[in-house]
Amino acid sequence: MHLLRWISCLGLEQQISAAPTSSHQDYFLTDRPGRRQLIAVGTTLVPWVLLSHEKYASFAAENKKGFLPVTDKKDGYSFLYPFGWQEVVIEGQDKVFKDVIEPLENVSVTMLPTTKQDIRDLGSPQEVAETLIKKVLAPPSQKTKLVQATEHDADGKAYYTFEFIAQAPTYTRHALGTICIGNGKFYTLTTGANERRWGKMKDKLQTVVDSFQIVNL
């Protein structure tokens, strides 16, 4: 599916044309071990968020050891991220948490408005994931490979979850993502790590992806 057609289906033309093209990609996709770089929200860990709303009670109960929860009641989503990651501000991203030592280890959430009601309206998991990876999640200079893409339902919503590899000249990033449509928005959560650390990080990253939930506002 051509990108412009795909964007048109979502009703995102203005948002895409106004969005930054490479600044957040360059920030994430530069592997600089040992360099502590932060675009400041602060150097302290993001505090525990009290989940008082009934919609988020089950999510709070499922919190896992070694992870902290994020709940965005305004935009209607929640997820877990590994303890020790810190929040940073990246233009064009709604939420970003990352490891300051291993910058390829991060999670980000983006949202764009859409008139579609279901992610399945855009195509199969493979079609949508491949388009998103090649046109949005990795710069054109990188060689990408979709490893797998699957579909699952949760609370009446369809989610596409996928695994991919993006190869740059000096490093390879192994990543996971999940996408869903709800509340008039197209949600994308992506997380990943340097390929050399994939074996150590893949279970944690899978927990992050599996924890992502959309709730009706």
Kindly report, residue by residue over 154-166, the tens digit of the pLDDT: 999 999 999 999 9
Q: State if pTM tops 0.85.
A: no
- Reference 108, options 175, 27, 191, 172; nearest CA is 191
Per-residue three-class SS string for 84-123? CCEECCCCCCCEEEECCCCCCCEEEEEEEECCCCCHHHHC
Confidence of residue 8 (pLDDT cuts 50, 70, 90): low
Q: What is the pLDDT of residue 93?
A: 94
Strands 185-194 and 106-113: antiparallel
Distance CA 195, CA 173 (A): 5
Q: What is the pLDDT of residue 95?
A: 96
146-205: pLDDT as tens digits: 999 999 999 999 999 999 999 999 999 999 999 999 999 999 999 999 999 999 999 999
Distance CA 90, CA 23 (A): 8
CB atoms within 10 A of CB 168: 15
The parent domain of residue 84 ranges over: 3-214
Sheet holding 172-182, edge to edge: 86-87, 95-98, 106-113, 185-194, 172-182, 157-167, 143-154
Residue 141 has pLDDT above 50, yes or no: yes
Q: What is the CATH number of the domain that holds 12?
A: 3.40.1000.10
Residue 18 has pLDDT above 80, yes or no: no
Contact predicate 194/173, CB 8 Å: yes
Distance CA 205, CA 27 (A): 19
Kind plus residue range of the DSSP H or E element containing 78: strand 77-82
Distances (CA, A) of 130 to 1, 8, 208: 10, 17, 21
Q: What is the pLDDT of residue 64?
A: 81
Confidence of residue 11 (pLDDT cuts 50, 70, 90): low
- Reference 97, options 215, 173, 208; nearest CA is 208
Strands 67-72 and 77-82: antiparallel
Angle subtended at Cα 97 by Cα 136 and Cα 127, rounded to the nearest 5 degrees: 25
Number of domains observed in the structure of the chain: 1
Distance CA 85, CA 191 (A): 12
Mean pLDDT in residue range 105-119: 96
Q: Which of 15-29, 70-84, 172-186 has the lowest mean pLDDT?
A: 15-29
